Structure formats: C-alpha cells, structure tokens
Structure 1
C-alpha cells in the first residue's frame, strides 16, 4: 500500500498539491496502513507458529513390569490402568453371591508368557482348572475358567477416541502384552454354600496344569501416557468468530518436547491448535479453569532403571520419501509401497515382506488378529472383501522376542489394513 501511495505522489506534477496530499496521507491514511500491516504480520506469524504435530510426538511405547518393581517416578512410563499399582483384592462375599446366582465372577487378571496361537488355543478350548481360596477359616477348593481380558484393549480404544477428538491420524498401537492378559473367572466350588462371607481372602491360587509355566501374576503393562489436569494460563479470550472462546494451556512446566491430547466432551471442543509453547482449545465454554490432557511422554534413556521385558512401540524410522508421501496424503498402490510402509516401522526389524497376493473372499488364516477392531467401516461389507495375504520371513530374531512374532506380524498387517480398507488384510509366515 505504501508503494501505491508513493507512486501516485510521484506522478503529480503540481508540487503544492503533492505536498498537501502527502501531508494528508501521512497524517491519516499512513497510520491506518501501518496498523493493517502490523496485524497482517501478526496473523502470518501466528500461522507459522502453529506447529504441525510431529508424528513422533505421538508414538506410544509399551512394556511390562512386576508390580513390586513399579517405579512411581519413572521418567516416561506409567501404568495403563492406575489402579494396577495396588494389589488386586477378592471379596469372599461377592464370590459367594455370584456362586449362589450361578454367575461367573472375575477373580483376578494375570499375564500368560506364551505365543498368541497357543494362548488362543487354550482360551477356545474352554477348559476349567482347579484352584484354592485360603481364608482365616480354612481352605476352599474352586473351579475356574480363563477368558481373554479386555481391560487394556479398552484403554487403547479410549485412546483412539481421543485421537479422533484432536483430529490426529491414528496409528495402530504395538502392545503385544495387552493381548496376553487373561481373566481368571470363578465358575464353581464344592462348598460355596458354607463360605463365611465375613472372612477375608488371604491367598488365592490356581494351577494351569501343562500351562502353569506360562503363568505370570502381579504383572503390570506400562505405557508412556500420563493423564493430567492442566489449568489454563489466563482468562479465555473471544475467538475470531466471536462465538467461541480460546483457552490456552501453557506447556513449559510439563515439557514442550512431549505430545499432548486434549480429552473432554466433544461438544465442548470446536478444534485444537498446538504451538511450540502451548495448546489453544477453541470451545463454546466461556469459563473453564482446567482441562483433561493426555501427555504422551517422549522416551528417555535412564542410567539407573532397567527393563526386564522388551519395549515395543509404533515408532517409524522414515526417510524423505515416507515423510513426503505422508505430507501429500498420496500413496502408490504397489508391492513396493506396501514394503516401504511396513519397513518404516522399527517393529519390522528382523522381518521381511516376501510376497503380496490378493485372493477371493474366504475364511481367515487365523495367524494374525486385528488390532483396530474398534475402527468401524460403514461403507464396505466385510464378507465381500477380497483378502490381501502378506507373506513374511524372519531372520535374526532375538530369543526373548520369539513369543511375540505373531503379535508383531499382526501389528504390521493392521497398519496395512488401515491403508487398504477395501481388502481384508492377513499375514502368514513363509
């Protein structure tokens, strides 16, 4: 605008009129132009300051630890279920009432350290096992059955809903441990009618016969997600639409290097903006002192602590081609593109995609299982989908990861399933 004014003034031949117009423009219009330019620069800077959330900031890391070794001040790992930090309690009164109603009751949850196919074979057999409840009164024989635990899988589903609220792309969670937890369910007892409901259960034990060596009690799955109650950095200010309000959450105290997801009622969130120093929530709420936020902590190396179980993640090690493809939102539907997508994950180390084949609809192979069953597809009919068979080979696998091979395969296949929803993706070993 200043250039236009300068050009018009230079074209005026009458110097007196040029002086009068120059004084007029300098005194009135030039201040308005400078004010408008300042506002434009502020808007431009605000757009540049909005950092596109890096995918690495939302990588999820999962491991396992015994309850007695749980570190409440760990640098980046927290229990998936906070209540797991306390020992599981069984109330004899509840167990007795369940038996009287001939209903099954969950006694406790434990981890099975075995391969996924062997575990599924056990669960599908519907076998019963014998156990014992010890109280101050005496010992009581019980009969139990094992069922797959859904407590931790439900937490992953909740995380998916939060990703949707924050308008962020979803990646499958590589958490093989959560699919190996089972619930011990009470199904019967020879002397259940004689139980004294006032007594406290001192000890509870079961014997899984030939599967006893796989049983691991008092184990807790950990991940790098912490639930926080964050307060706003000041009063909400009206948004640019003059309808909603902007609530700013400062991140300096909790760490700007981590990822953050805002959780709350969807009707209270219009959209969320992340900058380097804070999170801005645009909401119709005029007043809100605090917001529930999930902090996805970045992994840090610790010199004191140690991990007894492998640390799994959905982290990628992409190069330029992968980052450019994700930015453009385009994909080349070829075997090479599928191989690039698979081998971008650290979880694919030691695995090699050998072949991709599309076959007619039919029964599943049963080796892999879906990790994103909660992601619904309302457009396609599952039974009519052609099957995409992904064949893998393995090499250089560490012994401690042998029981997780089918789980890692399921994770990689689930990621391809998200990219190719028109097929039913399955994996198998060559």
Structure 2
C-alpha cells in the first residue's frame, strides 16, 4: 500500500504540488493507515489467541468417601460442601425453638447404599424412626424421618449457571451418589430438655433401612474454589465504558478448565486464552476474582477409590470433535446411539432399543432427571409422548447402575425436549 502511494506521488509533475501532497499524506494518511493496520493486527491476534473449547478440560468427576478416609491434600478431588469435612455441632437452643414452632429440624445427613428403586420406595414410605438424644445431663426419646437433601443439587445448579455465564457448553454432571444423600430430621422430642444442655450424641434406629445406612460420607468432585488477582491495571476498551481485566492461570495449570464465578451484571464477556482469562465489564478497579478450577485427571498408581469414580467425560474421536464444533442436533437413531456411546460411562450399559409411547404409560420410572433445575421457558412441560430408552448391563450390576442410566437419559433429554425421556433396564 505504501509503495503505491509513493508511486502516485512521484507521478505528480508539479514539484510544489508533489511536496505539498507528500507532506499531507505523510502527516495524515500514512499515520491513519498505520494505525488501522496495527488495530487490525491486534484484533487478529486476539481472535487467534482465544483457545477453542475442549470438552476434556471441563469434564467433571464425582465420587464419595468416608470422612475419616478423606485426603485433604488430594491433588484431584475436593468436597462438594466444605461443611462435610468438619465436625458436626448442634445448636440446642435453635433446635428447641424450631420444635416449639412444630417445624422439622435437620440433624445430620446419611448415605443410603442401595439401588435407586429401593431408595425411591424408602422415601415414598415416609417412615418414622425411633431414636434418642443424649446430652450432658440426660437421654431423651425422639422421633425422626428422612427427606431428600437438596444442598448438593444446588451446588450443581450453581455450577450450571457459571458454565452458561462463561459461554461454556453444558454437559450433564454424572452425580450418582448425591441422589442417595438424605437429611435425618427431628420431628418430635421428649419434654424436659433444657436449652443450656449440650448434645453429645444423636442415635436413630433405622430398623430394616439400617442395612443401607452409612454415616459421615463426603461427596467429592474435581472442582477447586480459588481466588485469583487481576494482572496489572484494567485496560479501558474503545467504547470508554468497559474495561478488560486479565487473570493469569499459568501458575495454576493451563490444562485445567476455569470458570469465573460472579452474580452481578457488570461483566459482559469472558474470553479464554492459553495463559489468561480475559474479563470484560464495567468494573474499573483491579480486584480479586472467584474462580472454579476444574482439575484435569491424571493417572496415579496411588489412587484408590472406595466408590467408583465416574464422570461426564466423552471418548476422544474425530466424529465427537466434529460434532462439538458444528453443534448440530441430528435427530436420528444412529446419532442417538453415537451420543450414548460417546460417554465413558457407556462401558456399563449397552443400548438396545427405543420406543415412543403415550404419556399415560404407567410403568414404574427407573430413572430421574439430573438436570431438573434447568427451567426451559420455551418448552411446554406438558408432554404428550414418552421416549423410552432400553438398555442391558455390560458389567456386573452395581447399586448406582440406574443413576448412571439417569445420567445418559438426562443428556438425551436436552436433545429431545419434545419428549419426556426415560431409561429402563431389560
């Protein structure tokens, strides 16, 4: 471009006009041209620096472990709730005030090691269990019930919100163990207990259900909560309204997945580069940022899990990469089978058949929706048809097999919103 300009200038025969034109172009046009070139080059670099989404970097692994066996320095797994690794303390005053108001009090959590259908029957039976509360002064009779715990589901919902806000595609979290966590609630207590007493033990006789009960269990996942500082000062954007904040992830490991955690509306865009998170918003001052770090799994000979480590990870293949890139929802049986077999968890079950039936089909449901917190305001929830997926076991039956099936069906449900999807073992 510059060569053409100089060629045109040299073709001007009048020397005074040539000098004037040369001075004008040198001071104005060339400066403008170079500025445009630099800005275009900068934009090009920003586009190419932004890394492509890689599903493996955002694969979530889950398991469960006894509190006494939990490793606080484990490189990979962290508790879903920090309170699970702390000693339980009871506020007797609050418990008594709640009982007086005829309200139930959450005392502690237990894990039921049983099949989903058995667990479902136990919950639906609404059984009442005898027990006692031992204080530093006396032992008091009490009655308890169990109810579904929602804390872990809320954690996954929080994670879902951050995936959406960070423009990262959502994949159902394979979380079979949290569905078996229940709250043990106090519904009645013998009179005479004083507010200044200290609770030492809470004992519950779970009767026939007791064979499934496990205490002090800690659901875990490969998500670590971090606080990272901005690198340098925020750079003002060209619109003079927004600022770009740079958060370095180089020291944390560039192979992991990262999500910026926020609730306000001051952040407009988040970009991921190889070494940084680029956060654009109306925030003028440098600040600390809350981050979800999704740790990438590593092979270790020292790792031993009491309960199966499961994930929503997919098998790496050319077709899977192409599907992720194009984001086209192809509704054929072949694509349905490909989607099912793309998940690592497909090693447990084998797809056999598919049927579309009336919603009035009253056979007992064997699966549940792991994405029930997603509210789709466009889709009509009054389904007219069910999409039933039939599977057989590939390996020996395990107590979470219907939960693993629920994970697969929940992901299929996202692709087939017009049906109510269910899974069944044959």
Normalised-by-shorter TM-score class:
over 0.9
Aligned to 2:177: 177
Aligned to 1:254: 252
Match of 1:98, SS state, is: helix
Q: 1:148-199 deviations in whole A, cap 9, x for unaligned?
A: 111111111111111121122111110101000011011113xx22112222
**1:345 pairs with one of 330, 336, 343:** 343
How far apart in 1 are the matches of 2:90 and 2:159? 29
Give the secondary-structure state (helix, strand or coil) at the position aligned to 1:355: strand
Q: Within 1, Cα distance between the matches of 2:238 and 2:356? A: 50
> Where does 1:73-222 land on structure 2 (aligned, <5 Å)?
73-189=73-189, 192-222=190-220
1:245 deviates by: 0.7
Alpha-carbon displacement from aligned partner over 1:400-425 (angstroms, at most 9, x marks no partner): xx101100110000000011111111
Aligned counterpart, 2:268: 270
Q: What residue number does 1:296 align with?
A: 294
- Asked if the contact 1:131/1:206 (under 8 Å) is kept, the reply is yes
| CA offset digits 1:15-56 (Å, max 9, x no partner) | 989997997699555565445333322221111001123121
Distance in 2, matches of 1:18 and 1:405, equals 86
What is the CA-CA distance between 1:307 and the residue it aligns to? 1.8
The question of whether the paired residues in 2 share the 8 Å contact of 1:315 and 1:346 is answered with yes
Could you list the runs of 5+ residues in structure 2 that have no partner in the other structure? Answer: none
With structure 1 as the length reference, what TM-score do the two structures score?
Answer: 0.92
Pairs within 5 Å for 1:12-27: 12=11
1:309-328 aligned at under 5 Å gives the runs: 309-328=307-326
**In structure 1, what is the Cα distance between the partners aligned to 2:80 and 2:316?**
28
In the alignment, the residues of structure 1 paired with residue 5 and residue 327 of structure 2 have an alpha-carbon distance, to the nearest angstrom, of: 44
Q: TM-score, normalised by structure 2?
A: 0.93
Write the deviation string for residues 321-374 of structure 1: whole angstroms up to 9, x where unpaired. Answer: 122122112132111100111110001113111111222222564111011111
Per-residue deviation at 1:88?
1.8
Cα distance in 1 between the residues matched to 2:54 and 2:69? 32
Count residues with an aligned counterpart. 424
Q: Is the 8 A contact 1:96 1:193 kept in 2?
A: no
Look up the match of 1:63: 63
The verdict on how the C-alpha distance between 1:3 and 1:325 changes in structure 2, with shifts beyond 3 A counting, is: farther
Summarize the Cα distance change of 1:133–1:86 in structure 2 as closer, same or farther, 3 Å threshold: same
Partner of 2:421: 425
Check 1:20–1:383 CA distance in 2 against 1; reply closer, same or farther (3 A cut).
same
CA distance 1:205–1:301, shift in 2 (3 Å)? farther
Larger CA deviation: 38-47 vs 152-161: 38-47
The alignment partner of 2:422 has SS state of: strand
TM-superposed deviation, 1:382:
1.9
Q: Distance in 2 between matches of 1:21 and 1:390?
A: 80
1:202, distance to aligned residue in structure 2 (A): 1.2
Q: 1:21 to 1:388 in 2, by over 3 A?
A: farther
CA separation of 1:410/1:3 partners in 2, compared to 1, >3 Å: closer, same or farther? farther
Q: Give 1:240 deviation, angstroms.
A: 2.9
Query: Which of 386, 403, 409 is equivalent to 1:413?
Result: 409
Q: Indicate if the aligned counterparts of 2:59 and 2:312 stay in contact, CA closer than 8 A.
A: yes
Aligned partners of 2:298 and 2:73: how far apart in 1? 13
Hey, what's the Cα distance between the residues in 1 that align with 2:377 and 2:30? 58
Q: What do residues 197-226 of structure 1 show as CA deviations (whole Å, max 9, x unaligned)?
A: 222111122121122121110110011111
Alpha-carbon distance, 1:252 to partner: 1.5
Matched, 1:387 2:386: yes
- Aligned residues of 1:314 and 1:345 also touching (Cα < 8 A): yes
Q: Secondary structure at the match of 1:270?
A: strand
Distance in 1 (alpha carbons) for counterparts of 2:334 and 2:16: 72
| Aligned-partner SS, 1:257 | coil
Work out whether residues 134 and 199 of structure 2, in 8 Å CA contact, stay in contact via their aligned partners in 1: yes
Report the CA distance between 1:142 and its aligned residue: 1.3
SS at match of 1:195: coil
In structure 2, the residue corresponding to 1:118 is in which secondary structure?
Answer: helix
Q: For 2:315 and 2:330, locate their aligned partners in 1 and report how far apart those are by CA, in whole Å.
A: 19
Deviation larger for 178-187 or 50-59:
50-59
Deviates most, 384-393 or 358-367 = 358-367
Report if aligned partners of 1:388, 1:426 keep a CA contact under 8 Å in 2: yes
